[in-house]
């Protein structure tokens, strides 16, 4: 794959220079980011954040397509709905790229993603077209994704887990997502009902805190 992509970059001078110019920008990006050739769909580059998220080295990532990237990832979950998402997601991502190519516009979407270990992530993803020298053709698509999972409604996140997993597995995944699974032993996990009550309390507390804090500053 790397030999193929190196040959493609050598053959296409514009692609070569754009890839080199944007590589530093992608490396400095605080979010997951990658570049893809708009014509072939092959990935040209990604930053360390994205590489770690998918579990594939930057070197091995180059030259993959959406489909081959998904095939190379080491998926731990095998539930029916999880496998269904894994099969459908490459097509959804390809259509996202095609939409950018067709409209030649920057497009932002909030999307659901699932990690290799089965954790749900909500992402705000921006795809932007990079044009040829004469601005007549999209030749590269730049993608940046920010993880907004913990900024979302936590009850909605739990309900999303319930869609993909049985109740106790959903609770386990939710605890891991919140990074509080270490406070529980497997036999002492909350029930789904207890988890819902806990999240209601947390949500109410956050709402009240965010309401009170501005008033405190006003009265200071």
According to DSSP, the β-strands at 107-114 and 32-37 are: unpaired
- Cα separation, 130 vs 140, whole angstroms: 5
Q: Are residues 77 and 120 in the same domain?
A: yes
88-138 pLDDT tens trace? 999 999 999 999 999 999 999 999 999 999 999 999 999 999 887 777 789
Q: Are residues 19 and 59 in the same domain?
A: yes
Of 150, 165, 197, the domain-final residue: 150
Non-local (6+) Cβ contacts of 134 within 8 A are none
Q: Are residues 145 and 163 in the same domain?
A: no
Q: Nearest to residue 147, comparing CAs of 34, 50, 27, 23?
A: 50
pTM over the 0.85 mark = no
Residue 4 pLDDT: 46
Which residue has better confidence, 77 or 20? 77
DSSP code at position 152? S
Of all residues in the chain, the percent with pLDDT exceeding 90 is 60
- Cα separation, 181 vs 177, whole angstroms: 8
Task: List helix spans (H) across 56-191.
Answer: 58-61, 66-72, 80-103, 154-164, 167-177
Of 150, 182, 203, the domain-final residue: 150
Of 126, 150, 174, the domain-final residue: 150
Domain hosting residue 160, numbered range: 154-219
Give the CATH number, domain containing residue 52: 3.30.450.20
Q: Are residues 59 and 119 in the same domain?
A: yes
* CA-only gyration radius of the chain, Å: 21
Q: Are residues 64 and 112 in the same domain?
A: yes
């Amino acid at each position: 794959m790397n030999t193929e992509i190196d040959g493609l970059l050598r053959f296409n001078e514009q692609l070569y220079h754009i890839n080199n110019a944007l590589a530093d920008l992608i490396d400095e990006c605080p979010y997951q980011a990658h570049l893809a050739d708009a014509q072939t769909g092959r990935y040209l580059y990604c930053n360390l954040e994205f590489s770690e998220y998918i579990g594939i080295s930057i070197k091995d990532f180059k030259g993959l397509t959406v489909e081959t990237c998904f095939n190379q990832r080491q998926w731990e979950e095998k539930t029916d709905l999880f496998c269904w998402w894994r099969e459908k997601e490459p097509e959804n991502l390809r259509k996202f790229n095609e939409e950018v190519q067709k409209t030649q516009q920057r497009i932002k979407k909030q999307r659901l993603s699932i990690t290799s270990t089965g954790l749900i992530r909500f992402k705000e993803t921006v795809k932007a077209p990079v044009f040829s020298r004469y601005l007549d053709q999209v030749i590269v698509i730049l993608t940046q994704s920010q993880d907004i999972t913990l900024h979302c409604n936590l009850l909605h996140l739990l309900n999303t887990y319930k869609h993909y997993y049985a109740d106790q597995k959903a609770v386990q995944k939710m605890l891991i997502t919140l990074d509080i699974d270490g406070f529980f032993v497997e036999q002492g996990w909350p029930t789904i009902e207890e988890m819902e009550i806990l999240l209601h309390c947390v949500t109410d507390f956050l709402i009240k805190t965010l309401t009170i804090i501005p008033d405190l500053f006003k009265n200071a």
